[in-house]
């Protein structure tokens, strides 16, 4: 009972401290700090001193960068940009690893006979009889290159672009320009034929090659809308809405982009107003949900209103003569 009771007694600071006989190499770091002893200077994998005030979550590399767990600041430093020449910056095109084999090798491509890829990745034309069975025209192995690229070069959209390819486009345009100049010289030899063809017609543009005339966007007879009515007391032109307006009533002019409701449009507007008025008075009329019921209700309402007005008119005549 006494031994179990001693386990739960509070220990003093001296009892917690390790014995002085223990070596510094085997003494825990926390115990050596308690004793006030000087700690040795830590060095990284490159032999450089590490500041003791740097936290461990900064000095130690993450597990996905370095699994050794050594203290180093190498993962915090920026990698020095390697001087990548134009030859090593991208894959070499059209270069083989060496001479082609004379016979088919086991594990090679069944189509062309190269060892660097399989038949499903082969870029050669599919043969009727592959190199595995024919043993003829075996291609050389492809050159597998390890191109080292930086973070920026991997994301460069123009990486690997050969500027000499643009010369083909330049030569094509130069050839077109040369043919155009030859065509103009042939036209110039005919005398004044080219000048008469290019003569301008007032109000029209003439294209000699297309042999057709194209009218301009606006003719002289097309007067502006604000010039049609110069009366200061009449209608005015509103340039913002491009409409003619009358100062007296402020309504749109009937002859200027204004279409009055007529026919079925007028009937629909009347039915719509009837449905709104009926809905305000509590009637269940909805022309979108049931247009037939709305039309019948409107017709019934008009008949009843007409009969009521005639009855009232008859009563007034009988009473007052």
- Which residue would you say has higher pLDDT here, 39 or 296? 296
Total domains present in the chain: 4
Residue 105 domain flag: yes
**Is the pLDDT reported for residue 125 higher than 50?**
yes
Same domain, 286 and 247: no
Residue 16 domain flag: no
Residue-level pLDDT at 118: 92
Please name which of 77, 74, 76, 72 lies closest in space to residue 42, comparing C-alpha atoms. Answer: 72
**Is the pLDDT reported for residue 105 higher than 70?**
yes
Same domain, 211 and 227: no
**Is the pLDDT reported for residue 111 higher than 90?**
yes
Domain coverage including residue 209: 180-215
Arithmetic mean of pLDDT, 162-167:
87
Residue 211 domain flag: yes
Residue 312 domain flag: yes
- Which residue would you say has higher pLDDT here, 74 or 304? 304
Query: Which residues make beta-bridge pairs with 245?
Result: 236, 252
Residue 111 domain flag: yes
Same domain, 113 and 132: yes
Residue 82 domain flag: no
Arithmetic mean of pLDDT, 176-191:
84
Residue 197 domain flag: yes
Same domain, 248 and 282: no
Contact between residue 244 and residue 236 where contact means Cβ atoms under 8 Å apart = yes
Residue 54 domain flag: no
Residue-level pLDDT at 163: 84
Q: Does the pTM exceed 0.75?
A: no
Q: Which two tokens stand for residue 296?
A: 């019948």
Class of residue 49 by CB neighbours under 10 A (exposed 0-12, middle 13-18, buried 19+)? exposed
What is the phi/psi pair of residue 26, to 5°? -95, -10
């Amino acid at each position: 009972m006494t031994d179990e009771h001693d386990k739960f007694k509070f220990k003093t600071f001296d009892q917690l401290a390790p014995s002085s006989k223990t070596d510094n190499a085997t003494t825990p770091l926390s115990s050596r700090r308690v004793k006030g002893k000087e700690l040795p200077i830590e060095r990284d994998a490159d032999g450089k001193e590490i500041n003791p005030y740097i936290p461990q979550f900064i000095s130690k590399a993450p597990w996905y960068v370095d699994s050794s767990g050594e203290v180093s600041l190498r993962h915090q430093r920026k990698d020095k940009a390697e001087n990548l020449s134009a030859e090593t910056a991208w894959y070499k095109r059209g270069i083989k690893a060496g001479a082609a084999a004379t016979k088919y090798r086991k594990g090679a491509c069944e189509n062309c006979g190269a060892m660097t890829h399989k038949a499903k990745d082969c870029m050669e034309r599919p043969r009727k009889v592959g190199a595995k069975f024919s043993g003829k025209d075996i291609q050389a192995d492809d050159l597998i290159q390890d191109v080292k690229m930086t973070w920026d070069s991997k994301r460069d959209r123009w990486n690997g672009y050969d500027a000499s390819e643009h010369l083909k486009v330049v030569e094509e345009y130069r050839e077109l320009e040369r043919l155009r100049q030859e065509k103009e010289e042939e036209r110039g030899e005919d005398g004044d034929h080219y000048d008469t063809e290019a003569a301008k017609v007032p109000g029209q543009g003439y294209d000699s090659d297309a042999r057709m005339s194209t009218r301009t966007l606006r003719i002289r007879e097309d007067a502006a809308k604000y010039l049609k009515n110069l009366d200061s007391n009449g209608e005015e032109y509103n340039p913002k809405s491009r409409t003619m307006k009358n100062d007296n009533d402020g309504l749109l002019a009937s002859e200027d982009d204004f279409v009055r409701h007529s026919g079925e449009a007028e009937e629909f507007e009347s039915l719509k107003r009837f449905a709104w008025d009926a809905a305000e008075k509590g009637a269940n009329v909805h022309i979108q949900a049931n247009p037939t019921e709305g039309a019948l209700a409107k017709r019934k309402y008009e008949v009843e209103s007409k009969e009521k007005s005639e009855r009232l008119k008859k009563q007034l005549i009988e009473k007052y003569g």
